[in-house]
Amino acid sequence: MEIVAFGVQADERPFLERAFAGHHQIRGLDVFLNRDTAPIAHGYEIVSTHVDADLSADVLQTLAAGGTKMIAQRSTGFNNIDLEAAADLGMSVARVAAYSPYSVAEFAWALALAVDRRLIRAGHRTRNFDFRLDGLMGRDLHGRTAGVLGTGRIGEAFTRIAHGFGMNLLGWDIAENPRCVGLGMKYVAPERLFAEADLITLHLPLVPATRHFVDAAALAAMKDDAILINSSRGGLVDTAALVDTLKAGRLTGVGLDVYEEEAGLFSFDKSLDVIDDDTLARLMTFGNVLVTAHQAYFTEEAVGQIIEATVANVEDYLTGRTNENMLVTRGQLPAAAR
């Protein structure tokens, strides 16, 4: 069987081709799935998608009309997929429930250290042979407090690194992680975490209850010199409120690998375009803000695991099996995915 994969990154392509070799033919496309590109999938029973794909109801209808019966998304997140529409169309939908937590946790730390120690500004200066240290003073993180919102596999990995730095640990989640407690983490209400943490990192899923979890009130509660890191989902942060906070001269640094309006921007070359997103454009003007393009997961280990799981999802669909990655199984929507 030939499978079409949308949104295939150049570095991802060899992993995808090797993983499917001997199983199925794979047609890897660098274009992302949306209303305009959906007709390309005509005649393909199985379509693999990137997290930035548009899988709203009308796109799914176009796919279904062309014979697509299975969506194999190469990501953990699935907030871009209308699962109810997929179920109504009799489709199957799968994601990748888990992959290397270290990829995201380590990248979150890279963002934190980069903004704390002013590495981007320092790098720009030395490229211009400006070797002054003015404005580059950072802070020791040892002895300070890390606030971890979401202590699942990624949050736990971040916590282990914070423990290695000798930081005090505060956490919040709907359920405590005993391994984090064993490292000395104290679980507190979000309001206390926002008020007391010097470094705040987000590792929550994006669901209605967590949208704009970091809103104007949360930002107002933070220390003026706090560091905020988001390597999870852009919608967790109210970006307009964040811009207002930065305009007021608050927060030592912000590291964002995700942005709530990133669809259609991230993963594309927009260097020659006029950016009409005023919020993102304003965000980019702050010298203490580092924005990267949703690359935290992008390591050899994580990408390899994501693609191996995608192959397994395809095989399970074809043989009628189910697994933990299945969000919709031949039109049946499990309660956990609703």
Starting from the edge strand earliest in sequence, which strands make up the sheet with 168-172, in order?
186-187, 168-172, 145-149, 199-202, 227-230, 253-256, 289-291
- C-alpha closest to that of 158 among 175, 174, 141: 141
| Element holding 145 (H helix, E strand) | strand 145-149
Does the pLDDT of residue 257 top 60, yes or no? yes
12 assigned to active site? no
CA separation for the pair 237, 228 (Å, rounded): 10
Residue type, 276: D
Which pTM value belongs to this model?
0.92
Q: What is the mean pLDDT of residues 249-254?
A: 97
Q: What is the mean pLDDT of residues 86-110?
A: 97
- In CATH terms, the fold of domain 101-291 is Rossmann fold (3.40.50)
Does the pLDDT of residue 337 top 90, yes or no? no
- Which position has the token pair 């950072």? 138
Does the pLDDT of residue 56 top 70, yes or no? yes
Query: For position 79, what pLDDT does the model report?
Result: 86
Q: What is the pLDDT of residues 104-117, one digit of tens each?
A: 999 999 999 999 99
Does the pLDDT of residue 333 top 60, yes or no? yes
- Please calculate the CA angle 232-242-154 and round it to the nearest 5 degrees: 15
Catalytic residue among 17, 262, 308, 324: 262
262 assigned to active site? yes
Name the percent of the chain lying above pLDDT 70: 99
- Under the banding of pLDDT at 50, 70 and 90, the label for residue 238 is very high
According to DSSP, residue 52 is labeled: T
Q: What is the mean pLDDT of residues 80-105?
A: 96
Catalytic residue among 233, 250, 260, 308: 233
Domain with CATH 3.40.50.720 in the chain: 2-99+300-337, 101-291
Please, how many CA atoms are within 13 Å of residue 217, restricted to the half-sphere of its CB? 5
- Under the banding of pLDDT at 50, 70 and 90, the label for residue 268 is confident
CA separation for the pair 134, 61 (Å, rounded): 57
The domain covering 2-99+300-337 belongs, at the CATH homologous superfamily level, to NAD(P)-binding Rossmann-like Domain (3.40.50.720)
Starting from the edge strand earliest in sequence, which strands make up the sheet with 46-49, in order?
25-28, 2-5, 46-49, 70-73, 92-94, 326-328
How many residues does this entry show for the chain?
A: 338
| Element holding 46 (H helix, E strand) | strand 46-49
Query: For position 335, what pLDDT does the model report?
Result: 54
Query: For position 334, what pLDDT does the model report?
Result: 73
Contacts (Cβ under 8 Å, ≥6 apart) of 262: 52, 234, 293, 294
Does the pLDDT of residue 48 top 80, yes or no? yes
